[in-house]
């Protein structure tokens, strides 16, 4: 039985989430925005697994599996939207979506 630092793991989850949030904010390419959303979801899952390890309960891992299923569904729809977007506008610039109403 070893003991690991739970603060470090929670801090790691926070750092990864902040990096993903920064990626969503600073990128204009839709593919990169989707990747950053994946990073954020992964960080949330990491926090759940840390909580599961802290209390020796499987519930955190169950929530991680749900997050995994949600991420898979989200990324499939998101990438289909990206393909459709590229077919319409010929670019991946998120600002081009402002022309969608015209």
Partner 1 sequence: MNTLLYISGFVAVISTLMVITRTNAVHALLYLIVSLLSVSLVFFLLGAPFAAALEVIVYAGAIMVLFVFVIMMLNAGADAARQERQWLSPAGWIGPACLSAVLLGELAYALAGSSAKIIGVGMVGPKQVGISLFGPYLIGVELASILLLSGLIGAYHLGRPQPPTPLPLQGEDRVLFPLGEETMFDSPLGRGRGGLPTVTEEIQENKNKRNCS
Site for partner 1 in 25-64 (CB under 8 A): 25-29, 31-32, 34-36, 38-39, 42, 45-46, 49-50, 52-54, 56-62, 64
Q: Please give the size of the binding site for partner 1, defined by CB under 8 A.
A: 75
Q: In whole angstroms, how close is the CB of 62 to partner 1 at the nearest point?
A: 5
Choose, by CB under 8 A, the member of 21, 37, 44, 98 that binds partner 1. 21
**CB 40 to partner 1: min, Å:** 10
- State the DSSP string of 22-71: HHHHH--BHHHHHHHHHHHHHHHHHHHHHHHHHHT-THHHHHHHHHHHHH
State phi, psi for 58 to the nearest 5 degrees: -80, -5
For partner 1, the binding residues in 72-101 under the rule CB under 8 A are: 72-77, 79-84, 86-90, 92, 100
In angstroms, what is the minimal distance from the CB of 63 to partner 1?
9
98 φ/ψ angles, rounded to the nearest 5 degrees:
-65, -20
Q: What string marks each residue from 1 to 20 as x (binds partner 1 by CB under 8 A) or -?
A: xxxxxxxxxxxx-xxx-xxx
Give yes or no for a contact between 37 and 101, defined as CB atoms under 8 angstroms apart. no
β-sheet bridge partners, residue 93: 29
């Amino acid at each position: 039985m070893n003991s690991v630092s739970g603060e470090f793991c929670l801090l790691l989850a926070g750092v990864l989430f902040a990096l993903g949030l920064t990626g969503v904010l600073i990128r204009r390419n839709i593919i990169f925005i989707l990747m950053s959303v994946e990073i954020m979801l992964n960080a949330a899952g990491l926090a759940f697994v840390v909580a599961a390890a802290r209390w020796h309960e499987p519930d955190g891992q169950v929530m991680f599996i749900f997050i995994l299923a949600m991420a898979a569904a989200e990324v499939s729809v998101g990438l289909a939207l990206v393909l459709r977007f590229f077919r319409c506008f010929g670019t991946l610039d998120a600002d081009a979506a402002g022309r969608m109403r015209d």
